[in-house]
Structure 1
């Protein structure tokens, strides 16, 4: 096992678990899956910024639905740890989204190591609103209620992590962190793609395309969200750091900001499986050089030095 995972969005229908599981990832996040099949947004919907090592996508949770997803997953042979990202169908109003999330949670609960709840994709209308009150507290309460029922029914506790946007301000991050702790969520993923267009992208031909931006330009803003979250959470729940990781130093910066695990997506798309190996070997080297041999021990020491948030 290692702390380097694949982010959701690459294997939406659990068709490539065995192949991806052989590439050295410590875990794979599959999906995002919705209760019913949907085609997503009209094409063209994916745009490459090769010089900037970035992508804009507006896929829109295109997937084959829960039934096909579970059928595909049942045939896997790989023992790699998996998470399953769940979402709502695009034709379901945001105020009724919890029905879709509960449906998905029930369906995948016993076949995954954790469930990721995507309430921050910029490509599904209204989804961002689920991070605002009162919807945020409402959805956390219902998810925890469903989790408790399922844990009792199956004798199995499956953790739930919430995936957040990088476009939240400091006050929103503090509010969300406090709410996550109040409802005793099991983890948080920081972050999804951004609707913003940093300077390096702003002047390019495709900058006006709608959708979420990922890749190198997302590294600093997403890592800053990790840092702010950790300052408030103080280790009370693990953070999975995602966004702009293209080399071992990028991964290390996420971990030093407060993440316990990291995920790759666009960096993997541009640099392939060799990137996974480079990062895993670098982290193993850091653990060996520390004298403890344990990455967790290094991170505990690093995280302990992260300053507490300024009350002003």
Structure 2
């Protein structure tokens, strides 16, 4: 790593050595994470970063602090303070589940369904986001379908505070409560229920990435022996919230491509129970339509 006379270093050598450190630490995308952190410290976009030549001593010190935390597997989004999600940027940090890129597909499904309601019925769709966490899905739907009436609920007080920040001035009706009891005032009136519930089996604790296991709220991760306890609650609640012909969509683990849809198919309340893959071809979310 070459230093200039003021104690700064070459941006290129800094990126190279930092990438090697994160790679040794087991970070899944070391080069990308390094670039995100360095761009943040330098006040540059990722596209501008290759133009950076020297990094001052003060900037190196700030970068080293962030790098050490990422090396310890603190989530990148906690260090940046934000997470991109579809067409919006969310504030995130300790106490809230960091939205994942694969959840953007489920949000996109909800957007499409809300638009379909507007096209077919000439009115704004009523959308409910259960287990809203950071407010990611609710924010995306409200942003992309302005006519939709979006409602969201979150149980955890810390996560609720992040959701309140992300949903401020969006028109989303945000409430604190349990997904299994939420929105009694909307029974039979909802067009779209969407949910990214906890779905990790308790026995899978050791297999969870440190970024999630050590930093995401456990309430947002684990859901009973088979990971489907929250799915069963969701199925019952969605059946009461939706109007006849309404739709529900929920994310699940890639190992639950058969068991998650079976929660819906086994009750006789649903038609068009389908599972959907993510961009890597892995089972990722299930959708179903309430029988008329």
TM-score of the two chains, using structure 1 as the length reference: 0.34
TM-score of the two chains, using structure 2 as the length reference: 0.36
Larger Rg: 2
Q: Greater strand share, 1 or 2?
A: 2
Higher relative contact order (CA 8 A, sep 6+): 1
